[in-house]
Amino acid sequence: MSTIVVWFRRDLRLSDHPALAAAVAEDAQIIPLFIFAPYLLRHPEAGSGRIQFMLGCLESLRNNLRVLGSHLICRMGEQSSIVPAFAREVGATAVYWNCDSERAWRTDTDNQVAEALSEMGIMARTFEAEALMKAGGRETYALENFTPHWHRILNQPVMPRPSALPEVDHRIQDVPLRTLADLGLLPTDQEIPTAGEREAHRLLCEFLATKAPHYMKSLSVAEAASRYTSRLGSHLKFGTISMRTIYQRLQIRKTEVGGWEKRNLEGFQSRLFWRDHFSQKLRNLPRCETESYLQVFDTVRWSNRDDHYEAWCNGQTGYPLVDASMRCLNRTGWLPFRLRALCATFHCIDLFLPWQMGARHFMSKLIDADVAIDHWQWQSHAGVSNTGRTWFRVYNPIDGMAKIDPDGTFIRRWVSELAEVRTEHLAAPWKHGIDYFPPLVDHGEARCQALLVLEPIKSRYESAKLSKFEKQADGK
């Protein structure tokens, strides 16, 4: 009997797991493996809250494997050396894993692992667990090509969950890494959501049954978004549920409802599509993990005011809607989309700080943080990734309250200093003599000053053809 190591990464589930399903189909001895990589644990964008959630997902996976008769083996170290060494240790004939190109480091590591295994005469097989196309330049993320591919892949049958798995030799060392302390990380004070595959499926059922009818109207209202969004982002991040499972459940539900509820489901599906489209773009443009898509914006003399950055991070900007949002983010690891956009434009336009700094803080706090989604969104909000658009969308942190938090409930919840302030005074307390943090900048003046610098750059870029370097970087 052949021995196959199934290497789990951001696919911490048993259902619709291509690598695991392929190994089961071969009737092989299967050894599940997970490796804690120091690079990811110590990355500036890593956060203890998100890693705590991942540990919960791993515990769920471990329990689910135990029920099927198997056991998850955990190790820590450089994956490029651990995987080949482990394969040799257990006498593996093959190592299977699902592709993951979230970071350039992952792609480089996978290539190193595949090369090392090949030299050892051990088969390396990779599988697409998401509806992405192989990197191939602009053609692979052009909507006319990516859209039909996305629907076609997600309409394929969901791969079966194993009913039983072979027992793993108890003599194989399993390093007990189950807490932040075990990993050498600081504890978190964030509110960590329930993790694991069962919870992911429960959230999907709850969304389809009760939340979906309110979805679209809730997106731009802070309190409503907290109640009616799916909260599946963290589970998609760590793969406790597959996109295909969600997509196909959506299709079934759409046949059962009509009118406004069906439009809500289509709106939700649209957001799932754009999530994967961002991943497809980053797979082709890995430099955008750290660089602006329009690289000319990385030459701008952005502000370097650490005091402004710290005040923004801590929710002490003087603008209550921004401050409430940042405090919510820091405490819960989650924030409604509209407030993520508001805080991003305040960071990049009002404070004129580079998007990379803001993305680093968001990534370190968000439980659902994903490089492809968050970095592309940050670039979009900063206006450094949009071709064909010369204008910049800038959210107003004062006027925005009327739509995002009309009765001030969200602000009062997170900015306790203002709990007793009248609603009409909440958006700009300094205008009413209320003792609160003074505003770091005047929004109107800061916006004008930033756009005086940024808009001419965008206009010049749009009037010129892509440079040779940018053509090459964009796969042309």
* Percentage of residues of the chain with pLDDT beyond 90: 92
**Mean pLDDT over the full length of the chain:** 94
Burial (Cβ within 10 Å: 0-12, 13-18, ≥19) of residue 296: middle
Same domain, 429 and 456: yes
Which residues have a Cβ under 8 Å from the Cβ of 82 and sit 6 or more positions away? 35, 75
Same domain, 351 and 378: yes
pLDDT of residue 40: 96
Residue 433 scores a pLDDT above 80: yes
pLDDT of residue 437: 98
Buried b (16+ CB within 10 A) or exposed e, 204-229: beebbeebbbbbbebbbbbbbbbebb
Domain boundary among 69, 103, 129: 129
Same domain, 382 and 431: yes
Same domain, 330 and 377: yes
Pair of tokens at residue 295: 């690289």
What's the CATH number where 334 sits? 1.10.579.10
Could you tell me if residue 29 is inside a domain? yes
Pair of tokens at residue 240: 């406790």
Could you tell me if residue 174 is inside a domain? no
Could you tell me if residue 419 is inside a domain? yes
- Could you report the per-residue pLDDT of 262-307, keeping only the tens digit for each? 999 999 999 999 999 999 999 999 999 999 999 999 999 999 999 9
Residue 468 scores a pLDDT above 70: no
Could you tell me if residue 28 is inside a domain? yes
Domain that holds residue 265: 197-284
Could you tell me if residue 269 is inside a domain? yes
What's the CATH number where 28 sits? 3.40.50.620
Same domain, 123 and 18: yes
Between CA 372 and CA 380, with CA 376 as vertex, the angle to 5 degrees is: 170
Same domain, 304 and 404: yes
- Could you report the per-residue pLDDT of 164-199, keeping only the tens digit for each? 999 999 999 999 899 999 999 999 999 999 999 999
Same domain, 273 and 313: no
What's the CATH number where 222 sits? 1.25.40.80
Rounded Cα distance, 184 and 42, in Å: 10
* Percentage of residues of the chain with pLDDT beyond 70: 96
Average pLDDT over residues 467-476: 43
> With bands split at pLDDT 50, 70 and 90, how would you rate the model's confidence at 36?
very high
pLDDT of residue 385: 87
pLDDT of residue 41: 96
> With bands split at pLDDT 50, 70 and 90, how would you rate the model's confidence at 463?
low
Same domain, 103 and 29: yes
> With bands split at pLDDT 50, 70 and 90, how would you rate the model's confidence at 459?
confident
Could you tell me if residue 153 is inside a domain? no
Contact criterion met (CB below 8 Å) for 362 and 369: yes
Helices (H), 350-400: 355-365, 371-382
| Nearest C-alpha neighbor of 291 from the set 359, 340, 349, 344 | 359
Tell me if the pTM is above 0.85. Answer: yes
Average pLDDT over residues 386-403: 87
- E strands, 179-243, are none
Residue 469 scores a pLDDT above 90: no
> With bands split at pLDDT 50, 70 and 90, how would you rate the model's confidence at 391?
confident
Could you tell me if residue 85 is inside a domain? yes
Measure the N-to-C terminal CA separation of the chain; round to a whole number of Å. 46
- Could you report the per-residue pLDDT of 441-450, keeping only the tens digit for each? 999 999 999 9
Domain boundary among 110, 129, 148: 129
Helices (H), 287-400: 306-314, 320-332, 337-345, 355-365, 371-382
Same domain, 54 and 100: yes
Give me the number of domains the chain comprises. Answer: 3
Same domain, 274 and 316: no
- Could you report the per-residue pLDDT of 224-241, keeping only the tens digit for each? 999 999 999 999 999 999
Q: Sign of the C-alpha dihedral, residues 348, 352, 353, 354?
A: positive
> With bands split at pLDDT 50, 70 and 90, how would you rate the model's confidence at 460?
confident
Same domain, 279 and 331: no
> With bands split at pLDDT 50, 70 and 90, how would you rate the model's confidence at 100?
very high
- Could you report the per-residue pLDDT of 40-92, keeping only the tens digit for each? 999 999 999 999 999 999 999 999 999 999 999 999 999 999 999 999 999 99
Rounded Cα distance, 247 and 213, in Å: 17
Same domain, 334 and 426: yes
Could you tell me if residue 155 is inside a domain? no
Q: In Å, how far are 223, 269, 393, 420 from 247, measured between CA atoms?
A: 26, 7, 31, 44
Domain boundary among 250, 284, 318: 284
